[in-house]
Amino acid sequence: MEEREIILEALARVCDEKGLAPTALQDHTVLGASGLDFDSLDMATVVAELDGILGKDPFASQQASFHTVADFVELYRRATAS
């Protein structure tokens, strides 16, 4: 399974827990308050899960910010390239 798919599945699980349709996950989907309304606990859950699966945490070595699903996926891509 590709890294992008793994990330999207982790995000979809949180969507499911929040009662949101995972089909809402598009590259342009905003993760924060003006979109899916993921809070810091939601994102910490995703990051911890991905750290266990992918063995990396892009927030450990860089100050990272993201707004959309595509931004979040790009953080992990850059962490791989480093």
pLDDT (average), residues 9-19: 93
- Tokens matching residue 28: 């342009």
Q: How many CA atoms lie within 13 A of 15 on its CB side?
A: 19
The pLDDT confidence band at residue 15, using thresholds 50, 70 and 90, is very high
CATH of the domain at 25: 1.10.1200
Tally of domains within the chain:
1
Look up the domain containing 75 and give its range. 3-81
Give the DSSP letter string of the chain: --HHHHHHHHHHHHHHHTT--GGG--TT-B-STTTT---HHHHHHHHHHHHHHHS--TTTSS-----BHHHHHHHHHHHHH-
Q: Which of 16-20, 52-56, 78-82 has the lowest mean pLDDT?
A: 78-82
For 29-77, how does the pLDDT look when each residue is reduced to its tens digit (9 = 90+)? Answer: 999 988 899 999 999 999 999 999 999 888 887 777 899 999 999 999 8
